[in-house]
Homo-oligomer: A and B are copies of this chain.
Amino acid sequence: MSKPVQSLGEAFASTAYPLIGHSRRNVNVLLESFNSIDGEQFSDMYGNGAVIEEFQSQIADELGMETAVFFPTGTMAQQIALRIWCDEIGINQVAYHPLCHLEIHEEDGLKELHHIHPILLANSSRLITLQDIQSIDQEIACLLLELPQREMGGQLPAFEELVAISAYCRAKGIKLHLDGARLFEITPYYKKSAAEICSLFDSVYVSFYKGIGGIAGAMLLGSKEFTTKSKVWKRRHGGDLISLYPYIISSQYYYNQRIDKMERYYNEAVELAAMYNQCPGINTRPEVPVSNMFHVHFEIEIDKLEPILIDIYEQTGVGLISYLVDEEGLRCRTEISIGERYREVPLDILREALALLGEKLEKATKHKSEQGE
């Protein structure tokens, strides 16, 4: 009897040890975070009320920023940050990396809604350097840096380079904005507090559903004047919901639970990437992770890799990866983010799964070269 064909995602979801992230994205994520909440707790009302103000104050304090505003999404928060800086400086031009979220994941909202023109610095194979910024031959209101650069596997500049970029921007009157979707996740590598990193920036966005593992939600931080303006734009965007508490309470719950685990996630990412790099035809990017994330690049076609992975999931119970992205029909890649699930996998079983992957890839590659391909 032949088994029904399973997708990689389905096979991953049915393993005993799925390796990525914190948990399944199901309703229990919400319910767990509300377990210890008093049902009489009053809702926030259009951005006001204890439930939102206390969490905003907590994060502002921890990031060493004057004020914070909770937003439904980073997409909204970051467009608004750039708009405020453009309006303040009086220039409708900013600079960022060509792989930044605003450029590739937001349907050009920045251009279509705010008429802000981005200058793209560096390219898909390297990070923005101080020299790139010094070479801009047009006026810009703001430079956006994403730390770590997610679409490059989560890479970081040296902290000294950041300091130099910040000093240069301040001297030139260029506002510096941090896309900190994964800010909490980089503090162990930099050996800096989030506040030390944020002190280099004029405005900061952080997310609560990446390393923190909340349901959704973001914050935008900056001076009182900056965040006051951001609330007006939040309403204009349609982001000033009467109640945001389902996201606020869950964000705060998982923040408090996981903020001190970022070093563990980072160390585990380094450990797992090293195991992947032992396998023939596999490279991680970066080779040694600098946060809880990295990309895995496979020198094999997606159609050949998928059945190999599903086999391994069935043999070992380890769900190594949940999806693959094709690269020109020749190679493929995936993204790994380490969260609570990683340490649920016994290390010997994980090693077995990766050893099996190495063997199967070697066989597939050998077969390929014997065929003279």
Interface positions of A (Cβ within 8 A of B): 24-31, 34, 37-43, 45, 71-77, 79, 106-109, 112-114, 209, 215-216, 232-233, 235-247, 249
* Complex: A198 Cα to B39 Cα, angstroms: 37
Structural contact, B39 and A106, CB atoms closer than 8 A: no
Q: Which of B27, B79, B244 contacts A37 (CB 8 A)?
A: B27
Q: Write out the residue numbers on chain B whose beta carbons fall within 8 Å of the beta carbon of A77.
A: 238
Structural contact, A25 and B42, CB atoms closer than 8 A: yes
> Which single residue of chain B is at the shortest CB-CB distance from A45?
B25
Known A-B contacts A28-B40, A34-B30, A113-B236; A72 and B241 likewise in contact (beta carbons under 8 Å): yes
Q: Which of the listed residues A28, A43, A114 has the most CB atoms from chain B within 10 Å of its own CB? A: A43
* Complex: A197 Cα to B38 Cα, angstroms: 41
Q: Write out the residue numbers on chain B whose beta carbons fall within 8 Å of the beta carbon of A37.
A: 27
Q: Write out the residue numbers on chain B whose beta carbons fall within 8 Å of the beta carbon of A236.
A: 106-109, 112-113
Q: Write out the residue numbers on chain B whose beta carbons fall within 8 Å of the beta carbon of A113.
A: 113-114, 236-237
> Which single residue of chain B is at the shortest CB-CB distance from A218?
B238
Known A-B contacts A107-B232, A216-B241, A242-B216; A34 and B27 likewise in contact (beta carbons under 8 Å): yes
Structural contact, B43 and A38, CB atoms closer than 8 A: no
Q: Write out the residue numbers on chain B whose beta carbons fall within 8 Å of the beta carbon of A238.
A: 71-77, 79, 106, 109, 237, 239
Q: Write out the residue numbers on chain B whose beta carbons fall within 8 Å of the beta carbon of A43.
A: 25-27, 29, 215
* Complex: A291 Cα to B236 Cα, angstroms: 29
Structural contact, B31 and A235, CB atoms closer than 8 A: no
Q: Write out the residue numbers on chain B whose beta carbons fall within 8 Å of the beta carbon of A28.
A: 39-40
* Complex: A43 Cα to B107 Cα, angstroms: 23
Q: Which of B41, B108, B215, B240 contacts A246 (CB 8 A)?
A: B215
* Complex: A45 Cα to B25 Cα, angstroms: 9
Given pairs A29-B43, A30-B34, 17 additional interface contacts (CB within 8 A): A24-B40, A25-B243, A26-B40, A26-B43, A27-B43, A27-B245, A72-B238, A75-B235, A76-B237, A106-B235, A107-B232, A109-B236, A109-B238, A113-B114, A113-B236, A215-B243, A215-B246
Known A-B contacts A232-B107, A246-B30, A246-B246; A239 and B76 likewise in contact (beta carbons under 8 Å): yes
Q: Which of B25, B74, B107, B243 contacts A216 (CB 8 A)?
A: B243
Q: What would 18 A/B residue contacts be, using CB atoms closer than 8 Å?
A: A26-B41, A27-B34, A27-B39, A27-B245, A28-B40, A29-B43, A30-B34, A71-B238, A72-B238, A73-B240, A77-B238, A106-B235, A106-B236, A112-B236, A113-B236, A216-B242, A237-B237, A238-B239
Structural contact, A42 and B26, CB atoms closer than 8 A: yes
Structural contact, B239 and A73, CB atoms closer than 8 A: yes
> Which single residue of chain B is at the shortest CB-CB distance from A27?
B41
Q: Which of the listed residues A24, A29, A113 has the most CB atoms from chain B within 10 Å of its own CB? A: A113
